[in-house]
Amino acid sequence: MPSPDEVLATPLQFLKGVGPRRAADFSHIGLHTVEDLLYRFPIRYEDRSRLQPIASLKPGESASIAARILSCGLRSTRRPGFKIFEALVADASGPLRITWLNQPFLRDVFTVGQHVVFYGPVEIRGGAGLQIINPQYEILEEEEGETIHTGRVVPVYERAGTVTPKMQRKLVHEALQRVPADLADSVPEEVRARLELPSRRAALVEAHFPPAQASVDELNRFATPAQRRLIFEEAFLFHLGVLAKRQAAAMDQKPAPVLVDDRIRESARRVLPFRLTGGQRQALKEIVDDLQRRYPMNRLLQGDVGAGKTIVALLASLVAMENGLQVAFMAPTEILAEQHFINIARLLRSSRFRIALLTGSTSAAARREQLALIEGGTIHLVVGTHALVEGDVRFHQLGLVVIDEQHRFGVLQRATLRTKGLHPDVLVMTATPIPRTLALTVYGDLDVSVIRDMPPGRLPITTMAKPESRRDEVYAFIRKELEQGRQAYVVYPLVEESDRVDLKAATEMADHLSQEVFPAYRVGLLHGRMKPDGKDRVMKAFVAGELHVLVSTTVIEVGIDVPNASVMIIEHAERFGLSQLHQLRGRVGRGAHQSHCVLLYQSPLSEDARERLKAMTETTDGFEIAERDLLLRGPGDFFGTRQAGMPTFRLIDLVRDRELLDTAGREAAHWFAREAPAPAAIEKLLANWEARFKLIEVG
């Protein structure tokens, strides 16, 4: 008799009713074993114990009906290639028309006489009366028992290739019959008892085939005790892995922790151009505490645009250099690396430390000379781009790595840089505020410091949303700012499908602004198809004040600092995501002058677009913006493209399950501290964990 673990590890191919073809379809969506199948929630639940008679249907509601097909067929429309599949169905109370738009394959699915359950929105269309549009459906076989498909609350699964929701229901039912009563539980018994969680097996059964008294509303909110227990289990295991990862990292030993004394404190005070804010002081304290520990720092420094992260990183660098260590300071672009180099060189001018800039543009001769000085330890701090991680860069004693805008670097680049020192301390910085729940999961193995306040003297940016019809007002406003010596950005969205259209529009806009709107001023154009040196030339001209208006189709480089730019115009603002709008707005407001952001939009606005523009005009707090963006878009889209190292959760929804995640985090920390697992147990836990959450190490 197979053990419970062996039952769960059974490849799906060997589950009755699957076979190689369906196993391949399951594999395509990441389901390989019985356990994978059982830990895939239904997408929704239908109460088929109360199917509605057709005669009782009302427009504007979603309904489940069971009916017989009287006739069905495909009809063409005036739109070429667009077809409608229609079926006339009836139950004992009367007939109803069902319509699917552009799904011609249904002619091979439905035949007259079939008994089908339909679930979908009831609408009135033209003169055709009531009908259900694009419903979910399930064909019922007469001879089958009705116990799992109708007459109860029924789980509905997302289709997997050729595997229909109904097939999956049968397979899940079959798999549950094989799971023994003594299934081992991954949540410790005392935790289950304290939180009143059902057992693992009971939770699996009830999450798929709920008892008669279960609330369909609760089920569809994934809020029943069985569902919450399984979500908690996943969160608990995730947190245990994070704790194990931190423990494993703490076993690495630095050659020696740094020391901080009065001489070093005085050295830091000498380079500091202003008083630090409370947030900066707290972040610096957390970083310096890390530097003084035996194991390497792995910390994320989060702060909104302009919060003053760079000066905090520089002071930490100074502490490392005063301890005889070298520092590598990495930026995502050459122009940003140059900007950091200029600012750091200015601040360290009176110190004894030598700094160097190393980018792709560094000449071969200068590079050879710098590499020798870095390897010999004569250069103490190196600012650069990804060129810093190339094989010929060798450090004498690399002790601290600072990575700016870390999400722009690949995981392998970060890993390569870490290997260049003997377990160096690593500080990664980002100006992209990340909601707390996402920070917990994406940067779970990093300690997080947050700077929430802004340096004194920074004025909040005023943000206005204006319809296209008020463009002339906006131009008059820009002209007034230019007359006072300020500069302006005009940004176009770049949507992949319409690259050429957008580029043409932006190019025409630059010409129009230059020749007709602002003929007395110099207008530049920046777009994604320019060569890197061309982009750099335009950006440097804008930084130097040689251009007054910069039209751009690309997101202006993160971190570019032009204190004199006081106006940001965002064309077609309705087409940008909320975080993107906030990042763009952060290009202004970097000097002493009042800055403005104007969101030009085209009507009519979708509900989401209206919410995004409303959020932008109501707050300049990047953390508030990030939370709203997460609620609007969901975690999957928050980073635009999927972030390397973002965990793959089976059951957890980062918005819906925030409280459960917090509870699981606390419980995991208590259990881990009490049990103090040995290194071998941690290694085993991590091997399972990385496979389970499909994780690549971040940091």
The secondary structure of 389-447 as a DSSP string is GSTT---SSEEEEEETTGGGS-HHHHHHHHHTSSS-EEEEEESS---HHHHHHHTTTSE
pLDDT at 51 over 50: yes
Under a CB-based contact definition with an 8 Å cutoff, are residues 74 and 83 in contact?
yes
* Rounded (to 5) percent helix, strand, coil in the chain: 45, 20, 35
Residues sharing a CB contact under 8 Å with residue 475, sequence separation 6 or more, in sequence order: 517
**Closest CA relative to residue 505, chosen from 602, 429, 412:** 602
Two tokens, residue 107: 């002619």
User: What is the average pLDDT value for the chain, to the nearest integer?
Assistant: 85
pLDDT at 226 over 70: yes
Strand partners, 596: 462, 567
Across the range 383-387, mean pLDDT stands at 84
Sheet of 565-570: strand order equals: 462-467, 596-601, 565-570, 487-491, 549-552, 523-526
Quote the pLDDT of residue 638. 52
Strand partners, 85: 74, 100
Quote the pLDDT of residue 519. 95
- What are the φ and ψ backbone dihedral angles of 315, each rounded to 5 degrees? -65, -40
Residues sharing a CB contact under 8 Å with residue 3, sequence separation 6 or more, in sequence order: none
Q: Give the N- to C-terminal CA distance of the chain in Å, as an integer.
A: 45
The strand ranges marked E within 561-680 are: 565-570, 596-601
pLDDT at 641 over 80: no
Two tokens, residue 221: 């909110």
pLDDT at 671 over 60: yes
Across the range 612-625, mean pLDDT stands at 89
The pTM of the full predicted model, rounded to 2 decimals, is 0.68
Band (pLDDT 50/70/90 cuts) for residue 457 is confident
Residue entry with tokens 């920046």: 526
Q: CA-to-CA distance for 117 and 119, rounded, in angstroms?
A: 7
pLDDT at 211 over 50: yes
pLDDT at 646 over 70: no
Quote the pLDDT of residue 431. 77
Across the range 220-230, mean pLDDT stands at 95
Quick count: other Cβ atoms within 10 Å of Cβ 58? 10
The strand ranges marked E within 261-337 are: 298-303, 326-330
Under a CB-based contact definition with an 8 Å cutoff, are residues 69 and 87 in contact?
yes
pLDDT at 407 over 60: no
pLDDT at 415 over 60: no
Band (pLDDT 50/70/90 cuts) for residue 412 is very low
